[in-house]
Amino acid sequence: RETGAVGWGIYSYYLRAAGVGYGVLMFLSLIGMRVATIYAPFWLAEWSRQATETEGGLSFDKNIDMLNIYTVISFAGVLLVMCRALLIAEMRITASRKMHADLLRSILRAPMSFFDTTPIGRIINRFARDCDRIDMELPPTLSQLLGTITNVTGALGGMVVATKGTFLVLLGPIMAVYYYVQKFFRLSSTEIQRLESISRTPIFTSFTESVIGAPSIRAYGLVEKRSRQNKDRVDANTQALQMQQFASAWLAVRLDIIGALASFFIAAVA
180: left (phi over 0), alpha (psi -120 to 50) or beta: alpha
Q: What is the pTM of this model?
A: 0.64
CATH code reported for the domain at 12-162: 1.20.1560.10
Instruction: Output b/e per residue, 52-65; b: 16+ Cβ within 10 A.
Output: eeeeeebeeeeeee
What contacts 185, CB < 8 A, 6 or more positions away? 247, 250, 251
Q: How far is CA 232 from the centre of its chain?
A: 31
pLDDT of the chain along its 270 residues, tens only?
Answer: 666 667 777 778 888 888 888 888 888 888 888 888 878 888 888 888 888 877 777 787 888 888 888 899 889 988 988 988 888 888 888 888 898 899 899 999 989 888 888 888 788 888 888 888 888 878 777 777 777 777 777 777 777 776 777 777 777 888 888 888 888 888 888 888 888 888 888 888 888 888 888 888 888 888 888 899 989 999 988 998 899 889 989 988 988 888 788 778 777 766
User: Which are the contacts of 156, defined by CB distance < 8 A and separation ≥ 6?
Assistant: 167, 171
CA dihedral 138, 140, 145, 147 (to 10 degrees): 160
